[in-house]
Amino acid sequence: MKQVYFDNAATTPIRDAVIERMTEVMRLQYGNASSTHGMGRSAKSLMETSRKTIASFLNVYASEIVFTAGGTEADNLVLRSAVRDLGVTEIITSKLEHHAVLHTVEQLQKEYGITVSYVKLSDNGVVDINDLERLLQSSNKSLVSLMHINNEIGNKLDLAKVAALCKAHHALFHSDTVQSIGHYNLDLQTIPIDFLAASAHKFHGPKGVGFAFIRKGSGIKASLLGGEQERGYRAGTEAIHNIVGMETALKLSYANLEAERKQISELKTYFIDQLKRLSPDITFNGNCEDSENSTYTLINVCLPIAPEKGGMLHFQLDLKGIACSKGSACQSGSNQNSHVLSEILSPDYLLKPSVRFSFSSFNTKEEVDYVIGVLKDFI
C-alpha cells in the first residue's frame, strides 16, 4: 500500500542529519549540563551554543531563549506567569487559538478571576484589527495572545501590526508561533513581541523540545520549581540531545528556507488546482486558498460529501495509506467538531467533512495525484 504523509502541521519527519547529530550527542555527550566536571561543562557548552544559534535566527539575546518541552509548555509558562506575577488582569485573544492557549486562559479565568475578551473575526477567521484596538483602548493591564499561523486553516496574522498596536496601548503581546518558526523569518528587534512559543517537531526536529522567547526585563517567573536550570525559569535536567537536535533542525530549515518554500508553495498551488478540477463544489476553509494571507504549508478543504458518507472519509483515506487530519492533532481523541471550523463555518458546511492537508519538502506532486485519485473514487 502506498504511504502518503500530508499531516506535517501535526508533526514533521525528522531530517536524517538531525537524527545523526542527536545520536552522536547521546553517545558521546551524555554529561549533565549542571555538573561542574569536564563532561558536564562540555554538555553545557553544547546547550549554550544551541541557545545562541536559535537566538541569532530571531535577532534576540541568547538569554531570552528558554528551553521547554514544547509549544504547550512555553504558552503555559508565559500566560500563567503574566497573570500570577506581572499583574495582568485581562487577556485578549481569539476563539481560533490553539487549545494550549484557550484552555490555559479559561483556567486562569477560573483561578484568578481575570477578564477574558475575544476579538471579533471575519467570516474567514481573520482577526478584526479595529476591534482589537477597541478592546485595547478600554483595557487595563492587559496581554494579547494571538497566534501567527493558525494551525488548522493556515490564516496568517500581521505580527508587526498587532505588536505595534499593543505597544501603543502599553499591552503585552504573546504569540504562539509553533507553525511559523522554521518556516518564516522573524526579526524580533523590528517586531516588538514580548513572548512567543515554538516547538522543534514542527520543523523536522525531535518531539519533546521547544522554546519560549521571553523578552529581557519582562518579569516572567518560573513555571517549574526545583533547580536553577534555564536561569531559574524552568527546573529540571536539560535534554541536551533534544536541544542540539532542535538547533540542527532550525539551522537546516533556515538554510533551505527559500528553496523549500518555493517547492512547497508550488505543491500547494498544484493541489488546489487539482481539487478545483475534481469538483467545483469543493470549498476552502479560512484564507488557505489565498497565498498572501495564509501559510504555504497547508490547506483545509470542505468536500461535497453527504454527512452519512462523509463520516467514513478519514477512515477510507487511512485505509489507502493517506495521513491527514480533521483539524488539530491535539484534539483527535475528541468527538467534537473542530473549534476553529465551528467558529467560521455555517451549520450546513459543518455537516460536510473538512480535511486538513499539510505539506513539507518531503512531499511530491505524485503524492497529490494519488490523493486526488482516492478522493475522486470516494466522491
Domain of residue 304, CATH code: 3.90.1150.10
Among 202, 226, 255, the domain boundary falls at 255
pLDDT score at 252: 98
pLDDT score at 125: 96
**What is the percent of the chain with per-residue pLDDT over 70, rounded to a whole number?**
97
Residue 46 and residue 43: Cα distance in Å, rounded?
5
**Which range among 70-74, 224-228, 351-355 shows the weakest confidence by mean pLDDT?**
224-228
pTM of the model: 0.94
Among 255, 278, 313, the domain boundary falls at 255
For the question of residue 330 being annotated catalytic, the response is yes
Which residue range is the domain that position 8 belongs to? Answer: 4-12+257-378
Q: Are 61 and 193 in contact (CB under 8 A)?
A: no
Tell me how many domains the chain contains. 2
Query: Which cell numbers hold the place of 194?
Result: 514580548
pLDDT score at 333: 44
Judged by DSSP in three states, 293 sits in: coil
What would the pLDDT profile of 122-177 be if each residue is shown by its tens digit? 999 999 999 999 999 988 899 999 999 999 999 999 999 999 999 999 999 999 99
Output the domain CATH number for residue 44.
3.40.640.10
Which backbone phi and psi does 112 adopt, to 5 degrees?
-115, -5
Mean confidence (pLDDT) of the chain: 94
Q: Is the pLDDT of residue 334 over 70?
A: no
pLDDT score at 331: 45
Which backbone phi and psi does 356 adopt, to 5 degrees?
-100, 120
pLDDT score at 228: 83
**What is the percent of the chain with per-residue pLDDT over 90, rounded to a whole number?**
89
What would the pLDDT profile of 278-328 be if each residue is shown by its tens digit? 999 999 999 999 999 999 999 999 999 988 888 899 999 999 999 999 854
pLDDT score at 329: 45
Among 231, 255, 279, the domain boundary falls at 255
Residue 71 and residue 209: Cα distance in Å, rounded?
8
pLDDT score at 327: 57
Q: Which residue, chain included where needed, has cell 569536564?
A: 38
pLDDT score at 240: 97
Residue tagged active-site, from 166, 302, 324, 330: 330
Residue 227 and residue 225: Cα distance in Å, rounded?
7
Burial 126-157 (b: 16+ CB within 10 A, else e): bbeeeebeebbeebebbbbbbbbbbbbbbbbb
What average pLDDT does range 2-14 have in this prediction?
97
pLDDT score at 268: 98
pLDDT score at 317: 96
Do 251 and 262 lie in a common domain?
Answer: no
